A = this chain, B = another copy of it.
Amino acid sequence: MSEPLNVADYAALAAGKVDPKVWCYFEGGAGDEVSLRANAAAYGRWRFRPRMLVDVAEVSTATTVLGAPVSMPLLVAPFAMQGLLDPDGEVATARAAAAAGTLFCVSTATTSTHAEIAAAAGNAPRWLQLYVVRDRQRTLDHLAQARECGYSALVLTVDMPRLGRRERDLKLGFQIPADLPLPYMRGTGVSHAETMAQHFSTTPSLTWDDLEWVAAEGGLPLVLKGILTREDGALAAERGVAAVFVSNHGGRQLDGVAAGLDALPEVVDAVAGRCEVYVDGGIRRGGDVLKALALGARAAFSARAIAAGLAVAGEAGVRDVLSILHEEIELGLALLGCTSPEQVTRAHVEPVVPYHSSPV
């Protein structure tokens, strides 16, 4: 293959480089992977409505999330165990995100420590993705560390009362290596199911009422990740969260749910401007990000595109993936007739169906 030109090229290179028994963990989804495929397909159901003869000599992709300035509305989604893809793991990703001027949301299941990541990221904004686990003390300890290590928001994952059944991992026999450092997860295991369940032993009894103590202990703005319905969007806004993160967990939890993008409009409508809304799932192009903006997202997150870059070339790979997406977003804004992300509106997209004027 020639030099990778786009995210799909990086994904193909990564699939050819990483051990399939490891790559399956990053690429796979739950069950029949219906929701995984839905993520990628969702963008194709919307098309752009570009406006012409707008002065786009000066285009900026910069925006803010929870007040933090970022170079573009594409942020790095949390994903686990980045040390499986590159020796520098989250440190490499943090450096690349900082260089790109965008935000890195760090997973609970890191292979690096928060201190290492903080050192790598410098002043770039970082958020911490949080699982509330069965042992509440561990969560409290984790929150304390988050405050100390410079995270500026907590992204609480709410769609994992149990771990989804990821059959690709089971078919290929994916194992978390016994010697893989996981400083914020407990223990190591032998069988996949046990290992995964042991590591990701989130509490199944978390409810809306728990948000108060999480927020109080965290002392940081709270983002709820994993919302897929207008009902939960409205509840989240009523509870005063800082942001709602629409996500189907990369198609890895309940198979058969909507793509993030498909659920986005109803959540945006329900939130009604009371907090920011983000989305992830299936982002492969800058145009995907622009569609997410048009449907009401403040920003979009990507995990698998970043994982591909990390697997192919470590920090340099992530930098290149972010650079490609940045350029695609900028070009897309100009061709849409917009000079900033804020100018992208619902009128810049429409469903892919023919417009039927009335017969004469």
- Does A178 touch B at the CB level, under 8 Å? no
Closest B residue by C-beta to A206: B53
* Residues in B neighbouring A51, C-beta threshold 8 A: 229, 231-232
Residue of B nearest to A43 (CB): B256
Q: In the complex, which residue of chain B has the Cβ closest to the Cβ of A255?
A: B287
- In the complex, are the beta carbons of A158 and B52 less than 8 A apart? yes
Query: Given that A266-B357, A354-B45 are known contacts, is A167 also in contact with B287, CB under 8 Å in the complex?
Result: no
Q: How far is the CB of A247 from chain B (nearest CB, A)?
A: 11
A52 in contact with B346 (CB, 8 Å): no
With A161-B56, A167-B6 as given contacts, are A359 and B336 in contact (CB-CB < 8 Å)? no
Are B53 and A334 within 8 A (Cβ)? no
> Are B357 and A53 in touch, CB under 8 angstroms?
no
B257 lies within 8 A of A48 (CB): yes
Whether B159 pairs with A232 at a CB distance below 8 angstroms is no
Using an 8 Å CB-CB cutoff, how does the interface string of A148-185 with B read, 1 for contact, 0 for none?
00000000001101101101001100000000000000
Are A165 and B331 in contact (CB-based, < 8 A)? yes
In the bound assembly, the distance between CA atoms of A334 and B159 in angstroms comes to 10
Interface size in chain A (residues, C-beta < 8 A):
86
Structural contact, B171 and A49, CB atoms closer than 8 A? no
Contact of A253 among B31, B170, B335 (CB under 8 A): B335
What residues of chain B lie closer than 8 Å to A2, measured between beta carbons? 171
A19 contacts partner chain B, Cβ-Cβ < 8 Å: no
Take A335-B161, A355-B265 as given contacts and tell me if A53 and B232 are in contact as well, using a CB distance cutoff of 8 Å. Answer: yes
A27 at the interface (CB under 8 A from B): no
A83 at the interface (CB under 8 A from B): no
Q: How far is the CB of A212 from chain B (nearest CB, A)?
A: 12
Q: Do A49 and B207 contact each other (CB < 8 Å), given the known contacts A171-B2, A328-B165, A332-B254?
A: no
Contact: B49 with A258, CB < 8 Å? yes
Contact of A254 among B50, B208, B256 (CB under 8 A): B50
- Given A52-B158, A332-B254, A357–B269 Cβ distance below 8 Å? yes
Complex: how many Å from CA A235 to CA B345? 19
* Pair A334/B269 contact, Cβ less than 8 Å: no
Q: Which 6 A-B pairs have the closest CB atoms?
A: A254-B335, A57-B205, A52-B158, A265-B357, A346-B360, A55-B205
25 examples of A-B residue contacts, CB within 8 angstroms: A2-B171, A43-B256, A47-B258, A48-B254, A48-B256, A48-B257, A49-B258, A50-B159, A52-B227, A52-B232, A53-B158, A53-B206, A53-B210, A56-B204, A57-B203, A57-B204, A161-B334, A165-B331, A254-B287, A262-B354, A265-B357, A266-B357, A268-B357, A345-B360, A351-B354
